[in-house]
Structure formats: structure tokens, C-alpha cells
Amino acid sequence: MVRLGLIGAGRWGRAYIRTIAALDGVVLAAVASRNPETVTLVAPGCALYRDWRELVAARDIDGVLVATPPALHAAMARAAIEAGLAVLVEKPLTLSLREARELMQVAAQRRATVLVDHTHLYHPAFEALKARVRDLGGLRALSSVAGNRGPYRADAPVLWDWGAHDVAMCLDLTGAKPAAVGARRLASQAAGAARGELIGLDLEFPGALRALIRIGNVIDRRRWFAAFCDNAVLVYDGVAAHRLAQYPPQAVGDELRGPATAIAVADELPLTRVVRAFADAVAARRCDLGSLELGVEVVEVLSRAEAALGAGN
């Protein structure tokens, strides 16, 4: 039985609680949260801590899930790694490239298991898209749109909150780092203590491959990712009835024209796959740093985009 601890019982932390409860061979043994309602969310016998440091110091857990605001990720993940625990940390890994690189160094020295929850990489539709790209000729371009009306978060800028997913998908699919990163604000407005924004990213990869990304919390709900190949266009749509579809080859930027062929994919929540992959790595005592390396690369790209946004102001 893999015994996990959870730091943070907010919206995403509660999703972890539900996910773990439905998995065999995994138990949520401890939660660190200051919310008094947390006791009503967990099973009897789950230890509750107000201070996350007490959870990390506990000797009866095998791994820790970090589901807190991203500014807290580095300190919590590092403490867990140094305590000999496996770590699953919510995206983005950090808001600082220096902190991300320091985490990689510590994890490598400790031969730790560290996964970053870039959830869409585990979606069956994205996994199927990635597998099919290889058979459709060369990858020519990527395009994505993602966002919603909110959330408006004071603890995570829109670029980092929304951009981490799309950048991770681009890096994972291309297997490369962008040679150039451009970014510009397409819309910006006050939203209480936070900001409502629409941001455009332009990533240029080796071989003249470009990724055009639009992300924001001031648009209607979207989760759309297209891979333009020589012989077809594959579209992962996280809110459509058919999550993966294939279109005839066509130009980037045009409205996609049919006929579209729906592609059947497994009906399983990506978060279930994330937690299962983490639990399997913990059970096998694998030193797994590939996900962490990608997480650092995502932070690097977002840092470059943040600099570009600053230069454009």
C-alpha cells in the first residue's frame, strides 16, 4: 500500500483527495491544511496537520502531493525531497527559474522521484495525438487556445496559471526547447486584487516549427490544441464531445475545414493517470526526473515570456 500525504486542500487539493479515494493500492494517510472543513473531506484515520512541516517530518508516508499556490512550491517540494519522500507538485513547478533549477539539483543529488502535474500530458486524447503525429508526416506547426472566464488569482499570474499547460504540451510533443519566445498582452483589465488577461505566445522551435498560443481568463471556456502535420491536422479539444479529431491537411491560422474524423480515446480522467503514475513510481522506488526536467524547461520558457511581456510594456 502506497501511503501519500497532501499539502493543501483547496480546489485542486480536493480533486486529489477524490482521486486517491477511488484508487486501489493507494491511501491518503495525511493532509496539511488550515481549513477546518478538511476533516469532512478525508476518510477516518487520515492524520491532519495545520503545519505542512509536520506532515513532511512524518515517518509513515511514502510521498507528498503539493497542491498550494505556486510561490510555495519550491520550499515545500525541497523539504519533502530532503526528507527522503517522493513528490508530486502541481504546475507550474515554481515561479522562479532559479528555484526550479535548485530543485532539479537537489532531486538529482538525492536520486528522488519528482513529478510535475502537467495534467493534460496524461489526457488519453493528448497521448493518442502524440502517438499519431509520428505517422502523419512531419510536424509543421502547433496552435492552441485555452482559457475561461476566471479564475482571477492574485497568487498566480495568468501567464503562469494557464501557460504552463500549453507550453508543457508543446515541449513534450516537439521534444525540443524553443530558440525564441515572444509574448504580448492582447487584453488586460482589473479583476479585484488580480488581473484579467489574454496573452499571446509565439514559440519558435528548430526547423522553422512555430507554436502560436493564446491563453487567458477573460474568454469563453476553451481547451483547444492543434498539431499541423504534413498529411493531416490533429485537434485535441478538452471541452468537445469528441476529445480528438483528425482533419485534412491545411494551412495554419485558417478556420479548420472538414471532413473531421472523430478518434475514439479511453474514457479516463487525466488526474487519475497522474496519481497512478506517481504511486507506481513510489512503489517501484524509481528515481524519475524526466517530469521534473520538463517542469524546469516550462518555467524557463514562461520566464522568457514574462521578460518579453515586460519589454513590451
3-state secondary structure of 135: coil
Give 192's DSSP letter. T
Residues 84 and 109 in one domain: yes
Check whether 312 has a pLDDT greater than 80.
no
| Domains contained in the chain, number | 2
When pLDDT is averaged across residues 50-65 and rounded to a whole number, the result is: 97
Residue 159, domain member (yes or no)? yes
Residues 263 and 276 in one domain: no
Residue 93, domain member (yes or no)? yes
CATH number of the domain bearing residue 86: 3.40.50.720
Residues 107 and 235 in one domain: no
Check whether 254 has a pLDDT greater than 80.
no
When pLDDT is averaged across residues 63-72 and rounded to a whole number, the result is: 98
Give 253's DSSP letter. T
Q: How far apart are alpha carbons 121 and 274 in whole angstroms?
A: 9
Q: What local confidence, expressed as pLDDT, does residue 61 receive?
A: 98
Structural domain boundaries enclosing 232? 120-268+303-312
Residue 94, domain member (yes or no)? yes
User: pLDDT, tens digit, for every residue of 79-107?
Assistant: 999 999 999 999 999 999 999 999 999 99
3-state secondary structure of 211: strand
Residue 295, domain member (yes or no)? no
Which of 67-71, 80-84, 134-138, 302-306 comes out lowest in average pLDDT?
Answer: 134-138
Residue 141, domain member (yes or no)? yes
Residues 131 and 254 in one domain: yes
Sequence-separated (6 or more) residues with CB below 8 Å from residue 245:
234, 235, 237, 260, 261, 262, 263
Residues 140 and 224 in one domain: yes
Residues 73 and 131 in one domain: no
Give 255's DSSP letter. P
Tell me whether strands 139-149 and 26-32 are parallel, antiparallel or unpaired: unpaired
When pLDDT is averaged across residues 239-261 and rounded to a whole number, the result is: 92
Residues 40 and 167 in one domain: no
Residues 136 and 246 in one domain: yes
Residue 204, domain member (yes or no)? yes
User: pLDDT, tens digit, for every residue of 209-239?
Assistant: 999 999 999 999 999 999 999 999 999 999 9
pLDDT-derived band at 3 (thresholds 50, 70, 90) equals: very high
CATH number of the domain bearing residue 145: 3.30.360.10
Q: What local confidence, expressed as pLDDT, does residue 70 receive?
A: 98
Cell of 305: 515570456
Long-range contacts of 179-185 (CB under 8 A, 24+ apart): 179/204, 179/205, 179/206, 180/204, 181/301, 181/304, 181/305, 181/308, 182/305, 182/308, 183/159, 183/305, 183/306, 183/308, 183/309, 183/312, 184/308, 184/309, 184/312, 185/309, 185/312
Residue 297, domain member (yes or no)? no
Residues 262 and 124 in one domain: yes
CA 189, distance to chain mean position in Å, is 25
Q: What local confidence, expressed as pLDDT, does residue 313 receive?
A: 61
Check whether 135 has a pLDDT greater than 80.
yes
The pTM of the whole model exceeds 0.85: yes
Q: What is the mean pLDDT of the chain?
A: 96
Residues 256 and 275 in one domain: no
Check whether 14 has a pLDDT greater than 80.
yes
Residues 172 and 242 in one domain: yes
Residue 60, domain member (yes or no)? yes
Torsion of CA 80, 84, 86, 91, to 10 degrees: 30
Residues 141 and 240 in one domain: yes
